[in-house]
Amino acid sequence: MSVIGHIINGEHIQGEGRTQAVYNPATGTAEGTVQLADTATVKHAISVAEAAFPAWRNTPPLKRARVMFKFKDLLEQHADKICELITDEHGKVLNDAMGELQRGIENVEYATAAPELLKGEHSKNAGPAIDAWSEFQPLGVVAAITPFNFPAMVPLWMWPMAVVCGNCVVLKPSERAPSAVKYIVELAHEAGLPKGVLNLVNGDKEAVDTLLQDRRVQAVSFVGSTPIAEYVYTEGNKHGKRVQALGGAKNHAIVMPDADMENTISALIGAAFGSCGERCMAISVAVAVGDEAANKLVSGLQAAMASIKTGTGRDNSNDMGPLITGEHRNKVRQYVDDGVAEGATLVVDGRDLSVSEHPNGFFMGPCLFDNVRPNMRIYREEIFGPVLCVVRVDTMEQAMQLINDHEFGNGTCIFTRDGEAARYFSDHIQVGMVGINVPLPVPMAFHSFGGWKRSLFGDLSAYGPDAVRFYTRRKTITQRWPSSGVREGAQFTFPS
């Protein structure tokens, strides 16, 4: 059984403290253990990063970018192995893991533009014989705390941009799926990243709290559930840190009467049940405008769901793999039980699905509810599983009001052929990421990812242009070299 440790100062560290089992969710068996860093280990990683910072901040951005070019090549060369590690510990199907990795690689590609992104601004003769310019200077030591559901992509949202901006990073991935990110960190060092610039510590709340409380950590990036995101944001701010904490979601799709229903159903099937629903951008609520559209939608979804194939992620013929743990599977089942008890119509019931070759795997089939009401728990809360709820309304305005009233504002979309309706929707909906006939409007790497309301705590979104702003401080310099021999008196008015 493998033991997964830490990488600090470019060296593999095997600790002596607590460990946790790492499961293959398809088989339900523990296939390794991960070491959980104690406070001393995390502080050691912070010290190493702090020591590496002076040399790294003075490394030319072009040299930092060249490391990212080599790193990108290595990710592509070893993509199959990375995806196998993702699948074996998360459960998602291999081709889904490949899609995740590709999105991460696109963020590395964006990071290679560091010389352009960090150029700053310059104004000659901003005043008489006065020049002014701004610089983007790195923060120092920054922390990245990442979730289990995208063990490759989300870390690649964070640390590549942090390091090309001149920072040094302590990365704490999810202890449930630690192997892929560990291998990726090894590839980063193979690409030429100096020792101490990127450090990996596995751990739980003790490690997180150490990162949040240590004064040497200047900024924290986080992705996870809303309660933990709020805690990270509050605790980090209390200790004087810059924090971006991305939380949960309840993403709605409005289905208009004029929607291309066949394509809409296909889009919703993938968006709701891909990765077994364990995505913060998954569509979990379909709001059908009018009973005619609702009836077509529900019957079409029911028919399409009958062909969804659930099984081990190693088999690319499957559409869905298992959920991450048995505990989480039972939690999702309880949500379905609650929906039935509250009066929603369970059209497709996947609670008792079993996979014969893996009877102990954490599998659950897709579920579809109709006649869901906003007061129901299955509507209010993020389920993070393969459960799609259909809500019926009479008008687009009612559909939009549902979305705007919800506490989350991560992603949303509308299916329609009406350009006026689409334009009105995108302009007035209170959600951070919007799709028009696009069910998963995840921005490309050269934009930024972030929701509104209780889906994002902090002022700046993840990756893209916001990453440069988050991982740097702007410094503005005003400089004057007066002509020799010029004598000037004191100026007591404010300079203008």
**What distance in Å separates the CA atoms of residue 481 and residue 479, rounded to the nearest whole number?**
7
In 3D, which of 123, 126, 184, 131 has the Cα closest to residue 153? Answer: 184
CB atoms within 10 A of CB 263: 11
Q: Which 8-state DSSP code applies to residue 9?
A: T
Helices then strands (H, E): number in the chain? 16, 23
Query: Which is the catalytic residue, given 83, 168, 280, 367?
Result: 280
| CB 218 within 8 Å of CB 139 | yes
Q: Distance between CA atoms of 363 and 354, rounded to whole angstroms? A: 6
- Cβ-in-10-Å burial (0-12, 13-18, 19+) of 161 comes to buried
C-alpha distances (whole Å) from 397 to each of 155, 400, 408, 426 are 38, 5, 18, 13
Q: Is the dihedral of CA 297, 95, 90, 204 positive or negative?
A: negative
> Following DSSP, what letter does each residue of 369-405 receive, concatenated?
EES--TTSHHHHS---SSEEEEEEESSHHHHHHHHHH
- When computed from its CA atoms, the radius of gyration of the chain, rounded to whole angstroms, is 25
Q: Is 83 a catalytic residue?
A: no
Q: Catalytic positions, please?
A: 280
